[in-house]
Amino acid sequence: MPNGFVQLPADGVGKKLRSFDRGTAGHDQYVIPVDGRTVSFRGRGATFRTPGRAGTTGQKIAALHNATGSTVLVNVNQISVGLAVTAAKAVTVLPLIIRVDRFTVLPTGGTALPKVSFDTNNTSNSGVMAYQDASADGTSSTLALGVTVPISSIMDSGFAPRLITAAGYEPANRTTFLEGDSDIVLRALEGVVVELVYTLATQNPITDMWIVQLDWDEFTV
């Protein structure tokens, strides 16, 4: 049955109450959230196992961008980062910083990150693009993911875990950002990037392996 309405009041003069018309069974009333959002897509994207890039200028490992002229807004619900290492690091070497930054300029390089819907009946808007810095598990993208990060755009950050010694058990290393209520809204020409900040090659050798999970909604108001 189609969408319908119930006239309020019944004399036809007042406003209409939106409803779903079930025919002879009557009408079901719509309940609209306070923020007025109509969600069109809920989904996630998870990167391949991404090797570190030993250098001195850092590395962008995942990004989500809402293109110019996009017809949807993007709500970033959660970002999680995992790390596995095979070599110990000297305690005198500072751990690198994992940062979540807002940016605007369209990313370059990298590899497309598949957008997986919670409901297979829903499709992500083509203006929403996800990126990663690996083309397959353990294989870096041919061109490194490039994102221009504006000054003072840091949304969240934390130190990465380190393996100081190979003795004993290495626990699962997972850092989660934006826990709880949704924190970041991306309008047209806005994005978020997960970057690794470091100045020494020994802080992020190619034997370090990263994974990132992005969780977001797309909606209109």
In this predicted model, what pLDDT tens digit does every residue of 24-74 receive, in sequence order?
666 666 555 545 678 899 999 999 999 999 999 999 999 999 999 999 999
Output phi, psi for 56, to 5 deg.
Answer: -130, 5
Q: Is the pLDDT of residue 21 over 70?
A: no
pLDDT band at residue 90, thresholds of 50, 70 and 90?
confident
- Bridge partners (DSSP) of residue 209 are 51, 84
User: Is 7 in the same domain as 45?
Assistant: no
DSSP state of 203: G
pLDDT digits (tens, 9 = 90+) for 146-201: 999 998 899 999 999 888 888 777 777 789 998 866 678 999 999 999 999 999 99
User: Is 20 in the same domain as 71?
Assistant: no
Output phi, psi for 170, to 5 deg.
Answer: -95, 115
Mean per-residue pLDDT over the chain, rounded: 87
pLDDT confidence of residue 160: 93
Nearest to 208 by CA among 64, 45, 99, 55: 55
User: Is 116 in the same domain as 26?
Assistant: no
Nearest to 193 by CA among 138, 111, 151, 130: 130
User: Is 104 in the same domain as 199?
Assistant: yes
Say what percent of the chain tops pLDDT 70.
82
pLDDT confidence of residue 179: 80
Contact by Cβ (8 Å): 175, 81: yes
Domain count, the chain: 2
User: Is 57 in the same domain as 9?
Assistant: no
User: Is 53 in the same domain as 9?
Assistant: no
Q: Is the pLDDT of residue 89 over 50?
A: yes
pLDDT band at residue 1, thresholds of 50, 70 and 90?
very low
User: Is 24 in the same domain as 48?
Assistant: no
Both tokens of 7, joined, read 């006239």
> Rounded to an integer, what distance in angstroms lies between the CA atom of residue 156 and that of residue 93?
22
User: Is 199 in the same domain as 98?
Assistant: yes
Average pLDDT over residues 65-88: 94
Q: Which domain holds residue 39?
A: 35-220
Contact by Cβ (8 Å): 71, 30: no
pLDDT confidence of residue 5: 57
pLDDT confidence of residue 36: 62
Give the predicted TM-score (pTM) of the model.
0.81
User: Is 199 in the same domain as 103?
Assistant: yes
> Rounded to an integer, what distance in angstroms lies between the CA atom of residue 61 and that of residue 47?
8
Say what percent of the chain tops pLDDT 90.
67
DSSP string of 132-164, one letter each residue? ESEEETTEE-SS--B--PPTT-EEEEEEPP---
> Rounded to an integer, what distance in angstroms lies between the CA atom of residue 80 and that of residue 76?
12
User: Is 102 in the same domain as 195?
Assistant: yes
Q: Is the dihedral of CA 54, 114, 153, 96 positive or negative?
A: negative
pLDDT digits (tens, 9 = 90+) for 123-134: 999 999 999 999
User: Is 79 in the same domain as 25?
Assistant: no
Residues with Cβ within 8 Å of 189's Cβ and at least 6 positions away in sequence, in order, are: 66, 67, 68, 104
pLDDT confidence of residue 34: 46
